[in-house]
Each structure stands twice: as C-alpha cells, then as structure tokens.
Amino acid sequence: MKGLLLLLFAFILPVSLIAQRTTQMRNIWTRPQVHVLFQGYTLSFTIHDINKALALLAETGDSTYGTSCGLDTSGDYIVELYPGLRMEYRKPLQAVLQKGVGAFLLLAGHAYIEDKRHKPVRSVISDIKPPSRGVDDAYILFTDPKNDNPLFAGQMAAEMYNKDLGLD
C-alpha cells in the first residue's frame, strides 16, 4: 500500500509542478521598443532581450527565426497578436514573438505589462501545457493573477525552459 501511494505521488507531483507557476516581472532599465497588443493588454519587450532570446533559441538547434530580429533600437514597433496560434501572420515579428521567444521572455520576467486601464501588471500566472509526442514546443497561456484574464498565449521550445538570459 505504501509503495502504491509513493508511486501515485511520484506521478502527480511533477504534473502539478509543471502545470502552473507565478512569475514576477523584473524592472526593465532600458526603454522597451516592441509593444505587443493582446486582448487589451500591452506587453513591452526590449530588442536586446528579444535578440538574446533568439540567440539562445538558435543554440538549441532551432534556426527558424535566426539569431537577431533585425530591428532598429531607435524605433518603436507595435504588434497585435490574437488568442490561439495563427498559421498566417501579416508581419514576421508576430511569429517570432508568439511562436519563438515571447513566452520565454515572460517566464524569465523580462517584460513590462500594462492592463486595459494602463496599470502595470507586476506578476503573471503561466499555465504550461506539456508538449505532445513528436512536438518539441510547449503551449503556454499567461493570465493576470488579479482577474484571470488571458494576457498572452504562445509557444516555447521545451529546451528553452531552463535557459538563462544572463541579463540581470
């Protein structure tokens, strides 16, 4: 009986640890240039953070998006994303953020987030769905802890989960 309970506990514990986690957003000391609009929320990232995350993604063997986003740091870029993962994007930056590095940057806490009333969101809850067989990417839904509204949905390569941006 003891062995059966231990075995059951061993299967349940990893699932519950992976399912949800709360991430505190760090202070961004430089002006963010990339602003993502998602269901009333604005998520802002720096180009330096995006490029660093793309370089880490390329180290895992995924060269889909290259090692740099190619954006000029003196400009501002506004990107609108939609719930669910779209197959067709109007701008390449949409795919980079939603399927490439957006979820990774949010899990690392490297974003400035404002809600619909332009109030800062200091933490997010991430619901990480485990990758299915044959798929290397995990689907992650981020929600606002104050009202459980979704503020971002994206994919992240499973190999990126333990990577460190090294920017702090």
Query: What's the CA gap between 10 and 18, in Å, rounded?
Result: 13
The verdict on residue 10 lying in a domain is no
The boundaries of the domain holding residue 137 are 25-160
Six-digit token string for 13:
């514990």
On whether residue 140 sits in a domain, the answer given is yes
Residues 6+ away with beta carbon under 8 Å from 45: 32, 33, 34, 36, 97, 102, 105, 110, 111
Q: Is residue 15 part of a domain?
A: no
Q: Is residue 5 part of a domain?
A: no
In a domain, 7, yes or no: no
Q: Is residue 18 part of a domain?
A: no
The answer, yes or no, to whether residue 86 has pLDDT greater than 70, is no
pTM of the model as a whole: 0.81
pLDDT tens-place string over residues 31-82: 999 999 999 999 999 999 999 999 999 988 888 888 888 888 899 999 988 7
Query: What's the number of domains the chain is made of?
Result: 1
Q: Are 58 and 66 in contact (CB under 8 A)?
A: yes
Q: Is residue 90 part of a domain?
A: yes
